[in-house]
Amino acid sequence: MALNSIVEAIGGTPSVWLDRLVAHHGVKGRILAKLDYLNPGFSKKDRAALGIISDAEADGSLKPGQVVVELTSGNMGTGLAIVCGVRGYPFVAVMSRGNSQERARMMSALGAEVILVDQAPGSVPGQVSGDDLALVEQAAQDITQARGAFRADQFHHEGNAKAHFVTTGPELWADSNFSLTAFVDFAGSGGTYAGTVRALKDLNPDLRGYLLEPDGAAALAGEEISQPGHPIQGGGYAMPGLDFLSGVPVDGFLTVTGDRAKTTARDLARREGIFGGYSAGANVAAALELLAGPEAGGTIGVVICDSGLKYLSTDLWS
């Protein structure tokens, strides 16, 4: 089937059972991985980008030809570069220098203007903290005002979570043959978790949702922040509240170390042939932990958030 544009290829990604990995770890149950790294921009954020732009076009908040601005760790910016390029909006991506250089290069190749913001004093390259994100947010606000731009605002625009409610959740449920008992997701903006778990709980009220954060930076779980720096890019910013999670049920909180996320991402590549990034490794590590504990014998859904290609300059594959 021929599509009218690449935007129509966003969503509808395949899901794969990780039975080999589950058997290797000796746990009971199944993990279903939604391969969102196969979206055109190689990440789940393509869905949110399309949702935000489509909603803004529909309600008139985005004018024809208007500049679009957004802060990004690279994935949302890539999705917006694709959608804005096809639909005729200039796009400015504002990103911390702590994120991998592949992301900036990909956004630029897709036509985005990429503005890199220096990290906060004491921050480590490859480890983007909440302080780093605050600097990016301020820069994004300044650019939006100066250029009279539309702010895509992935941390607040309802099109983010709505996209996952309408697409990701129902897709996972159908792909599992209506068998999922739990869903776990690494928290970035919170949009994927909020939208997906709401949809899944509508379909199966007994399904349990788990929020995942980095070890030492579990602000959402109410823990003291001891290690705000970690290598799992795209989330875990040690921010105590996320708008999308307000009123959304969370049945449990989990943490994962950067080393465990890295080891599991490598395992995922070698044993399942799935070349995902750090957060994909984190999600699968959490699902394995759940099958070894409270969800033993269950069926857990996860999202492979982005591609390992975006981390070739980091220590993920070294």
How many CA within 13 A on the CB side of residue 251?
17
Active-site residue identified among 15, 34, 44, 45? 45
Q: Phi first, then psi: what are they for 172, rounded to 5°?
A: -60, -45
Active-site residue identified among 73, 279, 307, 310? 279
94 membership: H or E segment, kind and range:
strand 91-96
| Residue 45 annotated among the catalytic residues of the structure | yes
69 membership: H or E segment, kind and range:
strand 68-72
| Residue 279 annotated among the catalytic residues of the structure | yes
Report how far residue 7's alpha carbon sits from residue 4's, in angstroms, rounded to the nearest whole number. 8
Q: Hey, is 81 helix, strand or coil?
A: helix
Report how far residue 216's alpha carbon sits from residue 111's, in angstroms, rounded to the nearest whole number. 37
CB contact burial 157-186 (16+ within 10 A = b; e otherwise) = bbbbbbbbbebbbbbbbebbeeebbbbbbb
Judging by DSSP bridges, how do beta strands 150-151 and 182-186 pair with one another?
Answer: unpaired
How many other C-beta atoms lie within 10 A of the C-beta of residue 13?
21
Residues tagged active-site: 45, 279
